[in-house]
Structure 1
Amino acid sequence: MNRTDRLLAIVLELQGRGRARADDLARQLEVSKRTIYRDVLALNEAGVPIVSTPGQGYTLMPGYFLPPLHFSVDEAVMLLLGSDVMTQAFDPGLAGAAGRAARKISAVLGEDVQREVQFLRDHLRLVERDPGGDETRGKLRTLRQATLERRTVEFRYYKPRGGGEARRVQPHGLFRLNTAWLLAAFDPDRAALRTFRLDRMEGLRLLSEPFERQPEFKLERDESREGRGLIVRALFAPEVAREVRHHPSYYVTRAQETLDGLLVTLQVRSPEEVLPWLLSWGSACRVLEPASLQARLRDVAQELLRRYP
C-alpha cells in the first residue's frame, strides 16, 4: 500500500469506526506506530482535523465529513456559481468560506463532470454589483457578528430627506433586496421591528449590551413592509414601462400592464420615501393617489419653476 492509499485508509477508518488507536491502525495497515504518527501529522497539516486523546486514540472532528454526495452537472454548476456570487457579495470572512466550499465541491466531482462544470463556469457569469465596496462589507461583518452574538448596535441613520437620527437597535437578520443590503432589527424605543438600509447608516458600533430575540420574528416574512401603511399608485407611460420594471423602487409591491401604461403600486410610511424615485421619471409618471403625494409633487414643481423661470 502506497502512502496516499494509506492516508486515505486512515481517514476512512476513523470515519467508519469513530475512534482508533495508533496500535490498531499500525496492525491493520501493516506499518509501524511511528509511521502512523507521521501519517496523522501529515493529515493534520493538510487540513484534516484529527484529534488525539491520550489513552483513547484518534478521532475525526465531528461534522468534518458529510455522507457521500453525487452531483449532476446542473447541480454542481448552481452550487459553484452561487459560491462565486457569495465571494463578491459578502465580507471577507464569508467570502473566504464560500471559496473554500467551492474548492471542496470541485474536488469531489468526477473527472467528466469537472470538465463540463468548468466549461459552463467559463461561459456563464453572475456579476455582482457592489456599490458599497469595503464600507458595506465592513458593516455586514459587524452586523453579522451582532446578529449571531445577540448584541445591540448603534448608528446614525439618514433618511432620504432630513438630517441623521441616532438609533440603537437589536439586529435580527440581514437580507438583500435588488442591490441594497438591509438590516431587520427590533427597535426598543419604538417597540417594533424595523428595517434599515446599510448605505444610510453612519458610525455603526457594536455594543456589549445583549438582547433576547423577538419570538415572532421570521425573516421569510416581508419585514420590510411592516409599518408601511401608505399605498401609492402611479401610472407610467408605455414608452418607459420596460425601464421601470428594470429599475424598480425598493417600495414597489405590484406592477401591472394596462392599456394606458404600467400601473405600479408601492407601500411606504411617508411620501418622502418614494418622492425621489417618482421624480426621476419626469412627465412619464403620473401619481394617481394619494392626494397628499400629488400635492407634494406640485410643491416640488413650483419650486423648480421658481429656480428656473
Structure 2
Amino acid sequence: MNRLDRLFAILVLLQSKKFVTAERISEKFQISVRTVYRDVKALTASGIPISYEATRGYFIVSGFFLSPVAFSMEESSALLLMEKMVRALADKATAIQYTNAMTKIRAVMKGNQLELLDVLDESTQLQFQDIWQLQENFIPKVQQAIAHKKQLEISYKDKSEQQSVRLIEPIGLIFYAFGWHVIAWCHLRQDYRDFKLNRILSMKEPGGGFEKTDHLPVSHFMDNLPVKY
C-alpha cells in the first residue's frame, strides 16, 4: 500500500471509531508508531481536524464529514457474502437492516461493479437449517440493550421445558454451537447466565438501566465456551 492510499485508509478508520490509538493504527497497517505520528501530522496539515485524548487515542473532531468512499470489487464481494450469511443466521429484522445498508453501498458503486456483483449474487448460495435462523426479532433489541446498558425482561424456556421470567442485564451476544446466545447478569440467579435466543419466548424493555457496575468483559465468556464451534 502506497502512502496516499494508507493516509486515506487511516482517515476511514478514524471515522469508523470514536477513538483509535497509535498502536492500533500501527498494527493494522504494519507501520511503526513513529510513522503513524507522521501520517496523522500529514492529515492534520491537509485540513483534517484530528485531535488526541490521552489514554484513548486519536479522534476526528465532531462535524467533519468525509464524502462517500468507493468500494473495491473484493470489498463488495465480501459484503455480499456477509449479506447472505446474515439472512441465514440472524433474525429477519437484522437481515432487512443489512440489506438496506447494502442498497446504500450499491448506490456508490460503478456500473461495471454492479454487473459483476449481480453475477456473484446469483451464483453464491447457502444451504442451512431453518432452526439456525431466529424466528423472533430479538437481535436488534439485545444489541440496543447492550449498547445503552438497559435491562431486559425475558420469558425463557430452558432445556427441560421449564419456563421462567428473568430480569437480565445483557453484556454480550455470541454465536456458537449453531445458535445465538446472549450473555447476561440474571437478577433471579444473581449470577451470569447464557441464554439461547431461540429459547426466549418474549422480550420486553422495562426501562431500567444496569444496576451492576462491574460487569465482566465478554472475552471472559469467549474463553470459557462449552464447545469449540
Mapped pair 1:84 → 2:91: no
Higher-RCO chain (CA-CA 8 Å, sequence separation at least 6): 2
Provide the residue aligned with 2:112 in structure 1.
112
Distance in 2 (alpha carbons) for counterparts of 1:218 and 1:208: 23
Say whether the 8 Å CA contact 1:85–1:128 is kept in structure 2.
no
Name the TM-score, length of structure 1 as normaliser. Answer: 0.45
Say whether the 8 Å CA contact 2:156–2:199 is kept in structure 1.
yes
Q: Secondary structure at the match of 1:84?
A: helix
Change (3 A) 1:121 1:203: closer
Q: What is the one-letter code of the residue matched to 1:173?
A: G
Equivalences, count: 168
Change (3 A) 1:213 1:78: farther
Change (3 A) 1:221 1:125: farther
Change (3 A) 1:136 1:177: farther
Provide the residue aligned with 1:34 in structure 2.
none
Q: Which runs of 5+ in 2 are unaligned?
A: 1-62
Distance in 2 (alpha carbons) for counterparts of 1:199 and 1:113: 38
Structure with greater proportional strand content: 1
Provide the residue aligned with 2:218 in structure 1.
219
Residues 145-186 of structure 1 show CA distances to partners (whole Å, capped at 9, x for unaligned) of: 332332222234333236333322111122222431111111
Query: How much does 1:91 deviate?
Result: 4.3
Distance in 1 (alpha carbons) for counterparts of 2:70 and 2:212: 35
Residues 273-303 of structure 1 show CA distances to partners (whole Å, capped at 9, x for unaligned) of: xxxxxxxxxxxxxxxxxxxxxxxxxxxxxxx
Provide the residue aligned with 1:252 in structure 2.
227
Distance in 2 (alpha carbons) for counterparts of 1:109 and 1:144: 29
Query: How much does 1:124 deviate?
Result: 1.2
Q: CA RMSD in A?
A: 3.4
Name the TM-score, length of structure 2 as normaliser. Answer: 0.58
Residues 40-95 of structure 1 show CA distances to partners (whole Å, capped at 9, x for unaligned) of: xxxxxxxxxxxxxxxxxxxxxx6875453341x33211112212332454445433
Change (3 A) 1:95 1:106: same
Change (3 A) 1:217 1:127: farther
Provide the residue aligned with 1:238 in structure 2.
none
Provide the residue aligned with 2:51 in structure 1.
none
What pairs with 1:198-209 in structure 2 (closer than 5 Å)?
A: 198-209=197-208
Say whether the 8 Å CA contact 1:194–1:224 is kept in structure 2.
no
Distance in 1 (alpha carbons) for counterparts of 2:118 and 2:82: 14
Say whether the 8 Å CA contact 1:154–1:205 is kept in structure 2.
yes
